[in-house]
Amino acid sequence: MKLKQTIGLGALAVCLTFGAYSCKSKEKVATNSEVGEILQDMPCEKNGKSDKNYFRAFSMATSSDLSLSKEKALLLAKQRLVTLIQSNTKSVTDRYVNEREVGSASEFEQKFENLTREVADQTISNIVVACEKSSVLPDKKYRSFVAIEVEKEELLNSLNNSISKDVKLQVDYDKKKYEEIFNQEMEKMAEESGY
């Protein structure tokens, strides 16, 4: 009787061991198929982090055509760069208006935001590709990585040139004060990026 119980417990232990092992392997397979392979090192990612002198953006895209994967990655990076520039200049403008006595604050902010959008769009035509790499995936698709940048000074010069053409904006615009706040925001952004 004791022999039957021992054999039964041994068989149960073996079944539990195989069951646990098979559950683990199923779990591992399910995780890989749901998530995919985790990329530890993203090419160009470090080149896509902004610092106090440059606005930068990074992106990647996949396609069955190499040229298309590169174009998609560049387009996504440009969109991110424009968003970053607009977000940064919005913060600068808000701080500038709050720190200075601006005649019609809401009108100034609105005009400045519109001007910033135009300048950001123009600046995108002067981007520099800081990094570009591509790879072939097991399914024969291409994955492209790209990092782009635009110099802070170029953006500030474009803003200043555009403001000089608008008489109403010139009245409330103090170039030195605006650039001081702009530089503070760039340093803050650089710290958040890890630079």
Q: Is residue 39 part of a domain?
A: no
State the average pLDDT for the chain.
80
Which of 29-33, 64-68, 180-184 is predicted with the least confidence, judged by mean pLDDT?
29-33
For residues 175 and 143, state if they share a domain. Answer: yes
Query: pLDDT tens-digit profile of 70-80?
Result: 999 999 999 99
Domain count, the chain: 2
CB count within 10 Å of CB 124 equals 16
Half-sphere exposure of 66 (CA within 13 A, CB side): 6
CA dihedral 8, 12, 18, 20 (to 10 degrees): -170
For residues 66 and 9, state if they share a domain. Answer: no
For residues 93 and 4, state if they share a domain. Answer: no
Q: Is residue 35 part of a domain?
A: no
For residues 95 and 159, state if they share a domain. Answer: yes
Task: Give pTM, 2 decimals.
Answer: 0.73
For residues 17 and 50, state if they share a domain. Answer: no
pLDDT recorded at residue 40: 61
Burial of 63 (0-12, 13-18, 19+ CB in 10 A): middle
Instruction: Print the domain residue range for 120.
Output: 46-193
For residues 57 and 2, state if they share a domain. Answer: no
Q: Choose between 130 and 25: higher pLDDT.
A: 130
Q: Is residue 6 part of a domain?
A: yes
User: Nearest-CA neighbor of 163 among 150, 154, 174, 151?
Assistant: 174
Q: Is residue 37 part of a domain?
A: no
pLDDT recorded at residue 151: 93
Angle (deg, nearest 10), helices 175-193 and 152-164: 150
pLDDT recorded at residue 19: 45
Amino acid, single-letter form, for residue 173: Y
User: Nearest-CA neighbor of 115 among 141, 97, 93, 137?
Assistant: 93
C-alpha R_g of the chain: 27
Query: pLDDT tens-digit profile of 121-165?
Result: 888 888 999 999 999 999 999 999 999 999 999 988 888 888 888
pLDDT recorded at residue 171: 79
For residues 62 and 155, state if they share a domain. Answer: yes
CB count within 10 Å of CB 78 equals 19
d(CA 114, CA 120): 10
